[in-house]
A and B are shown apart, each in its own frame.
Chain A
Amino acid sequence: MISITSGKGGVGKTSLAVNLALAFSPEYKVLLVDADLGLANVDIMLSLMPKYTVRHVLLEGRSIREAVVDSGYGFDVLPAASGVSELAQPDSDMKEVLELGLRHLAEQYDLVFFDTGAGISPVVLWFNCLAQWSLVVFTPEPTSITDAYALMKVLYRDYGQKNFLLVANQATEKEGEQYFAHLERVIGHYLGLSPIYLGAVPKDLAVERSIRAQRPLLAETRESKAARAILALAERLKELFNLQEKSLAV
């Protein structure tokens, strides 16, 4: 399980999550969980009209399996609810139901992505702790860098999360490397951790077009700059996790 998170909003988390899920499909069986439970985005981005959402699971006792839908692009989605404030801060019981359900569901998938909300609210932190890895998205802007660092700091210092993957969004390759090298230094110095860099996704008009068309970029084109970069991120993740599996096997 990998959570896709950022601290700051509007850095392209959901778009990246959707396209990463697509990049792994159908080779891998992927579930994308809209972890912004009370303010759904994933279904909008994919133009889905889910009959049941996580709301029905947590507030009306439906099974989590009933809420899972086919995205139409080769991976599955667990949709969140729109504008349900009770879900913005799920209580202890809801979290327990959700955790059990997600762990149960995860058994049937090779990869599960959580697309978390912005900010560092308890539910964002909770999803990051539930995932083994936190994939932190930042853009080359001071506020985004600071928020990404602050999120990692809280996750490590208050919760013990040490597994961070970093992605520079809306950044050239050079910018991404420069900013990562810098974040890596600060993180190493103040937190004593070494995050892993996955790469950069450049600005690309094709991304905006795909968002307006409510179709994932990778479903439109695999040739644009951003699409190629996202496919490269997926390759990097595959390497990383195959490598880990091998090292575990040894």
Chain B
Amino acid sequence: MDIEKCLRRVEEFLRRHDGDGDEVIGLLKDLYQICRKLYDQATIDFLTGLYNRRAFEKQLELAVERARRDRSTFSLILLDLDHFKRVNDLYGHLVGDEVLRKVGSLIRSTMRKVDIPARYGGEEFAIILPGTGFEGALSAAWRLKKRIEETNFGTEERPIHITASMGLGTYRPLENLSARDFLEKVDRFLYAAKNRGRNVIVYESDRTFHEEHLEGLSHEEKKALMEGVRPYDD
């Protein structure tokens, strides 16, 4: 059974019978609130307030299903904080947790409302960008990476600066990958980013995205295209 759907149905029912003063309704209300709390605990990461891994995987499956049916696209960013162990080692786990919480809220405030961010592992985050192709996702990833770099996650007296490595993939409906295979693919990009010395975005197996900000066609591509369109000289 889809718990979320069921909860919404009960919620709707309660809204319609609000103020009935019926004892059963009152009991149902209590029960609903307990269920909602348990459900949130099961799907929300308590530290950051983002989706947890399990909820993320379900969202990813829904996104893949939708893309296959509609022949639409979406993108996925996997993000891992670089050398996070050092933060824990230097300042202790409480400070480490505080940094994670701040990264969580930074992700939430940087991404759009429709995006679905999650805490995927210890210092690993995942963001689903519905209806977003490669270019859009790359600008979003770039923006996020920059904001993480610019943010002081510590205090004024004891500043903490961190960077992030990212893997970025766009789901191509004609390739028809399963959610699992797609996740593995993007995970390989993240792994490659880590291997390339971190603080980079990797989006294809062998291409690193570092400094340049792409928007649509790159300058190089335009130049390459224009070189061949000189009038034909007989």
* A→B interface (CB under 8 Å): 92, 95-96, 122, 126, 129-130, 140-142, 145-146, 149-150, 153-154, 157-162, 172, 174-175, 178-179, 181-183, 185-186, 189-190
CB < 8 Å A-B pair total: 78
Complex contact A150–B217 (CB within 8 A): yes
Taking the nearest CB of chain B, how far is it from the CB of A191, in angstroms? 10
Complex contact B217–A96 (CB within 8 A): no
Complex contact B172–A153 (CB within 8 A): no
Interface hub of A153, A160, A175 (most chain B Cβ within 10 A) = A160
Q: Mark B196-234, 1 if CB is under 8 A from A, else 0.
A: 000000000000000000001100011011111100101
Q: Given A95, A146, A153, A160, which contacts B70 in the complex, CB threshold below 8 Å?
A: A95
| CB nearest neighbor in B for A191 | B221
Complex contact B229–A145 (CB within 8 A): yes
Contacts A157-B172, A158-B172, A183-B225 aside, 11 further interface pairs with beta carbons under 8 A come to A92-B69, A95-B70, A129-B71, A130-B71, A150-B217, A157-B134, A158-B73, A162-B174, A172-B232, A183-B228, A186-B221
| CB nearest neighbor in B for A192 | B204
Q: How far is the CA of A130 from the CA of B217 in the complex (A)?
A: 25
**8 interchain pairs (CB within 8 A)?**
A140-B229, A145-B225, A149-B225, A157-B133, A172-B232, A182-B229, A186-B228, A190-B221
Taking the nearest CB of chain A, how far is it from the CB of B131, in angstroms? 8
Complex contact B225–A159 (CB within 8 A): no
Complex contact A146–B225 (CB within 8 A): yes
Complex contact B174–A161 (CB within 8 A): yes
| In the assembled complex, B175 has its CB within 8 A of some CB on chain A | yes
Q: Given A141, A150, A160, A183, which contacts B174 in the complex, CB threshold below 8 Å?
A: A160
Complex contact A178–B228 (CB within 8 A): yes
- Which residues from A are CB-within-8-Å of B72? 122, 126
| CB nearest neighbor in B for A127 | B71
Q: How far is the CA of A190 from the CA of B207 in the complex (A)?
A: 11
Q: A154-B133, A157-B170 are in contact. Are A179 and B70 (CB under 8 A)?
A: no
- Which residues from B are CB-within-8-Å of A162? 174
Q: A142-B226, A145-B229, A182-B228 are in contact. Are A159 and B217 (CB under 8 A)?
A: no
| CB nearest neighbor in A for B233 | A178
Ranked 8 nearest A-B pairs via Cβ:
A182-B228, A160-B172, A160-B174, A158-B133, A160-B175, A129-B71, A158-B73, A142-B229
Q: How far is the CA of A146 from the CA of B222 in the complex (A)?
A: 7
Interface hub of B69, B70, B173, B228 (most chain A Cβ within 10 A) = B228
Complex contact A158–B170 (CB within 8 A): yes
Complex contact A186–B133 (CB within 8 A): no
- Which residues from B are CB-within-8-Å of A183? 225, 228
* B→A interface (CB under 8 Å): 66, 69-73, 133-134, 170, 172-175, 216-217, 221-222, 224-229, 232, 234
Q: How far is the CA of A35 from the CA of B222 in the complex (A)?
A: 29
Q: How far is the CA of A189 from the CA of B225 in the complex (A)?
A: 11
| CB nearest neighbor in A for B222 | A146
| CB nearest neighbor in B for A180 | B228
Complex contact A175–B232 (CB within 8 A): yes
Q: Given B69, B173, B221, which contacts A129 in the complex, CB threshold below 8 Å?
A: B173
Q: How far is the CA of A161 from the CA of B175 in the complex (A)?
A: 8
Taking the nearest CB of chain A, how far is it from the CB of B167, in angstroms? 16
Q: How far is the CA of A186 from the CA of B217 in the complex (A)?
A: 12
| CB nearest neighbor in B for A186 | B224
Q: How far is the CA of A183 from the CA of B222 in the complex (A)?
A: 11
- Which residues from A are CB-within-8-Å of B216? 150
Q: How far is the CA of A141 from the CA of B232 in the complex (A)?
A: 11
Taking the nearest CB of chain B, how far is it from the CB of A128, in angstroms? 9
| CB nearest neighbor in B for A153 | B217
Taking the nearest CB of chain A, how far is it from the CB of B149, in angstroms? 26
- Which residues from B are CB-within-8-Å of A186? 221, 224-225, 228
Q: How far is the CA of A141 from the CA of B225 in the complex (A)?
A: 11
- Which residues from A are CB-within-8-Å of B232? 140, 172, 174-175, 178
Q: How far is the CA of A161 from the CA of B216 in the complex (A)?
A: 18
Taking the nearest CB of chain A, how far is it from the CB of B180, in angstroms? 18
- Which residues from B are CB-within-8-Å of A160? 172-175
Q: Given B73, B221, B228, B229, which contacts A159 in the complex, CB threshold below 8 Å?
A: B73
| CB nearest neighbor in A for B134 | A157
Taking the nearest CB of chain A, how far is it from the CB of B184, in angstroms? 17
Taking the nearest CB of chain B, how far is it from the CB of A29, in angstroms? 26
Q: How far is the CA of A159 from the CA of B172 in the complex (A)?
A: 4
Complex contact B69–A96 (CB within 8 A): yes
